[in-house]
A and B are shown apart, each in its own frame.
Chain A
Amino acid sequence: MTTSAILLIAISVITTGLVLGVIFSLVAAGVTIVYGSIWLPNAANGQFFLTAALICWSFATWLAVPIWVAALLTLAVSLPISYLLEATLIRRFYDVPDRNIAYFVVTLGVTQILSGIFSVTYGRWSDQFNLPPMIGGVTFIGPFPMTNNRIFVLAAATVLLALLFAMLRFHPYGRALRAVFQNREAAALRGVNVRAIYRLSFALGMLSIFAGGILYGMAYSFDLTVAWTMAVTAFAIMIVGGPGSVLGAVVVGMVFGFTQAGVSIFTNPTLATFSYLAAMLVILLIKPSGLFSR
């Protein structure tokens, strides 16, 4: 194999790992924020991820608005959806003992309902969906031509993750949210409105999942099965990274992205799927609470 061919493959591994990694990280961060504060293991995260991609596709296709407008509208739509879900469903379990089990069952139900709705609506319109590119053309990274659209997705996801970190670290709401992560009783004693933080974290988590769904739809074609793949991946990342740890979600998300890209080149894509799940089991054997848990 020539040097150029080796370089082509190596850069393709790096860029693929980065693009998949940031999207995984964004979604897993959304899942872990909600779990960390409300103890809500969101089994419907994959369906919400798909919802975002489908809503964005609908805006871009049916309303024929530019893709950036469709993306912003979709992010905006996530807020009333979050509010409605929180007000009608999530809030009712805040005082239930062992509510994480109740939440898991409830979100499994939401998963089935959304899956059924998509199956008899979008599932009948097409077997696959494509969002128009945000930016056309390609940029050569050495011998590897990377589409500008994917470079945009990579940059946008990185910026969103940086904003999420900055918000959690520096904004008063972010600090309150982290206080609730660590000890909700102590946070309440310090004057933090825990219920308001629950609402904020649910909206923030959904926003993050929606952003992941939109960016995924921009980078790849998608069908209705992507919801199940993403649900498993986001959960695996959250568990390995440590439930409630946004840093863990980001680090492990990137590791998963690179593992998927790297193992598939040295062995095959099938083994790549098992490899990161096997890595998850090994890590959990060594540190059952997850890599970045407190």
Chain B
Amino acid sequence: MTAGTTRKNGILNKSAVPALAAACLTLAPFGAAPVKAQSGEPITIGFISELSGPYSFFGTACRQGLEFAEKKIAAEGGALHRPLNFKIMDDQTNPAQAVAAARSLDVQDNVLALTGPTSSDIALAIYGYAEQNKVPFVVPVAAFAQLTKPGTKYTFRVEPDAVGWGYAAAKFIAASKPGAKLALMYSDNALARAITAGIKYQAPKENVSIVADILFPQGSNDATVQAAQVVATKPDFVYLATVGAFDVTTTNQLLDLGVKPEQIIHNVGQTTTLLGYGPRSIGSNYGTFFDANLDNVTPEGRKFIDDFVQQVGRIPSYSENYCYNTAYIIKAAIEKAGAADRAKFRDAMSSLNMVEPTSGVPISFDQNGARKEYMYYMQVTGMQPKSYTAKKQFYIEWAPETLPVYDLVK
């Protein structure tokens, strides 16, 4: 279902209109947010995400984050006093389907820009279309560095690149224990390979030695043997770049074998996965870019978290936060451009200088569309059935050109 069709299908019969008007008038004095005046044609952005298929959890969560922002932006008067609409399409976690959706949104709907994917594979497929057809493309949640390789003109990556995650991890480990011994366990996918490339590049510079390097094929379901191998190397830390169910399995198998939670570092913290680790994981560490437990969450960020909890039943992860902020990034670029024009929008994105509404973290992009990088490391301090508490352990930021990212990941 798209935002557009929701409105189209929401036909009101004549008898309902007076009742609705009466209800609005009755409720208005009780704090309903005033909707600022909007006029003119809506500005439409194409939102292509994984609403079915293996990544449906992430695509659906991203859409939820975006829709919170969409409603809020509408209440604030839209962009350039025009309604800002997101036309939502499902890519079925299929790159070919994503390209077909991009073409349809470009040619049929003439959208100003594209956004939405949460999978690097899907984002890379849309990237090819966007660059070739000069359609601005704002990637909310996909960390593969090649999305902003040198020469990129129309793509902007909101999430820091995955090689940088590894760089940040090496820095965090070195700061936690100088001369630390590190075991790497990671899945065979683009994201994990990029992260570990960053760790392997930076670890020697930080005097961190890698004592185990274990790659799991996609579809792995057990890590008992590898956990035993890791334990045998007596590492100070184990860095896990595995995802979802396998991440939970691996974590529990390490804990079963006596690895302390404090020794475990997860590449990134997704709420559902963190809750899946269970109370035994209290003390473990994870990387993130936004967290409900951070002190720098703004009042708007706090409201976003509260509304999300109320509607979805769990606290949002960094990925939903990025999808929320992406709507505001697009709004800011439209207003900076002064018109709903693709070329002007692209130029506005290139020179954008704003902060994330939810956290105050600065947002700007380099000449290739890469964002100034940053990362938090958090430690889990408590676990409840639907939420967790954590405290900030480490924060780092760096310029994209600090690392030879495009040499490390081809």
A265 partner, pick from B225, B245, B248, beta carbons under 8 A: B225
| Assembly CA distance A124 to B258 (angstroms) | 34
Contacts of B224 in A (CB 8 A): 12, 15-16, 261
A-B contact number at CB 8 A: 123
B residues 253-299 in Cβ contact with A at 8 Å: 256-258, 270, 272-273, 276, 278
Q: Per-residue 0/1 for A146-180: is the Cβ within 8 Å of any B Cβ (1 yes, 0 no)?
A: 11000000000000000000000000000000000
- State whether the Cβ of A93 lies closer than 8 Å to any Cβ in chain B: no
**What is the predominant secondary structure among interface residues of chain B facing chain A?**
helix
Q: Which of B215, B221, B225, B229 has the most CB of A within 10 A?
A: B225
Give every chain A residue within 8 A of B245 (Cβ-Cβ). 127-130, 220-223, 226
Task: List residues 162-202 of chain B with CB under 8 A from any CB of chain A.
Answer: 188
Q: Does B57 contact A (CB under 8 A)?
A: yes
Contacting pair B60 A264 (CB below 8 A): no
Interface of B toward A, CB cutoff 8 Å? 51-54, 56-58, 60, 188, 214-217, 219-222, 224-229, 231-232, 243-249, 252, 256-258, 270, 272-273, 276, 278
A269 in contact with B217 (CB, 8 Å):
yes
CB–CB B257/A9 < 8 A: no
A229 touches B54 (CB 8 A): no
A9 x B188 contact (CB < 8 A): no
Q: List the interface of chain A (C-beta within 8 A of B).
A: 1-2, 5-6, 8-9, 11-13, 15-16, 19-20, 116, 119-120, 123-130, 138, 144-147, 216, 220-226, 228-229, 260-261, 264-265, 268-270, 272-273
B232 to chain A: which residues have CB within 8 Å? 1-2, 5-6, 8-9
- The smallest beta-carbon distance between A261 and chain B, in angstroms, is 5
Q: Beyond A127-B243, A220-B245, A223-B246: 4 further Cβ-contacts under 8 Å?
A: A12-B225, A15-B224, A127-B270, A226-B221
| Contact between B258 and A264, CB atoms less than 8 A apart | no
List residues of chain A with CB within 8 A of the CB of B249. Answer: 220-221
**Which of B57, B188, B217, B270 is the one whose CB lies under 8 Å from A123?**
B57
Chain A residues contacting B188 (CB-CB under 8 Å) are 270
Contact B60 A124, beta carbon cutoff 8 Å = yes
CA distance A260 to B225 in the complex (A): 10
Shortest CB–CB separation between residue A257 and chain B, in angstroms?
A: 9
For A138, list chain B residues within 8 Å (CB): 256
- A225 and B222 contact, CB distance less than 8 A: no
For A265, list chain B residues within 8 Å (CB). Answer: 225, 229
Q: List 10 A-B contacts (CB under 8 A).
A: A1-B232, A15-B224, A20-B221, A120-B51, A128-B248, A128-B272, A130-B248, A261-B224, A264-B225, A273-B217
Residue in B60, B216, B228, B229 whose CB lies within 8 Å of A144: B228
Q: Is the CB of A127 within 8 A of B58?
A: yes
Give A129's nearest chain B residue, CB to CB. Answer: B245
Verify B227–A12 contact, CB threshold 8 A.
yes
| A128 close to B221 (CB less than 8 A) | no
Q: What B residues does A225 contact at CB under 8 A?
A: 54, 219
Set of chain A residues within 8 Å of B272, measured between Cβ atoms: 126-128
Docked complex Cα distance between A222 and B252 (Å): 13
A35 to chain B, nearest CB (A): 23
Is B231 in contact with A8, judged by CB distance below 8 angstroms? yes
Query: CB-CB < 8 A to A127: which residues of B?
Result: 57-58, 243-245, 270, 272-273
A261 B52 Cβ-Cβ under 8 A: no
Tell me the complex Cα distance, A21–B276, Å.
Answer: 25
Q: How far is the CA of A218 from the CA of B40 in the complex (A)?
A: 57
User: In the complex the two chains form, is A269's CB within 8 Å of B220's CB?
Assistant: yes
Do the beta carbons of A125 and B220 come within 8 Å of each other?
A: no
Residue of B57, B246, B252, B257 near A126 (CB, 8 A) is B57
On whether the beta carbons of A147 and B219 are closer than 8 Å, the reply is no
Q: Is the CB of A269 within 8 A of B215?
A: yes
Closest to A216 in B: B221
Whether A13 contacts B225 by the Cβ 8 Å rule is: yes
Closest 10 CB pairs of A and B: A128-B245, A5-B232, A12-B228, A123-B56, A221-B248, A223-B245, A221-B245, A127-B57, A229-B219, A128-B244
Give the residue among B245, B256, B276 with the most A Cβ atoms within 10 A: B245
CB of A269 within 8 A of CB of B60, answer: no
Whether B228 lies near A119 (C-beta < 8 A) is no
Is B221 within 8 A of A269, CB to CB? no
Tell me the complex Cα distance, A261–B224, Å. Answer: 9
A47-B384 Cα distance, complex, nearest whole Å = 31
Inter-chain CA distance A12–B246, complex, in Å, is 18
Could you tell me the distance in whole angstroms from the C-beta of A85 to the nearest C-beta in chain B? Answer: 24
| A9:B52 contact, CB within 8 angstroms | no
CB distance from A5 to the nearest CB of B (A): 4
Contacts of A223 in B (CB 8 A): 244-246
Knowing A9-B229, A221-B246, the reply to whether A120 touches B257 (Cβ < 8 A) is: no
What residues of A have a CB within 8 angstroms of the CB of B58 in the complex?
127
Contact present for A229 and B56 (CB under 8 Å): no
CB pair A20 B258 closer than 8 Å: no
CA distance A222 to B228 in the complex (A): 21
Q: Would you call A16 and B225 a contact (CB within 8 A)? A: yes
* A19, A120, A269 — most chain B CB neighbours (10 Å): A269
Q: How far is the CB of B278 from chain A (nearest CB, A)?
A: 8
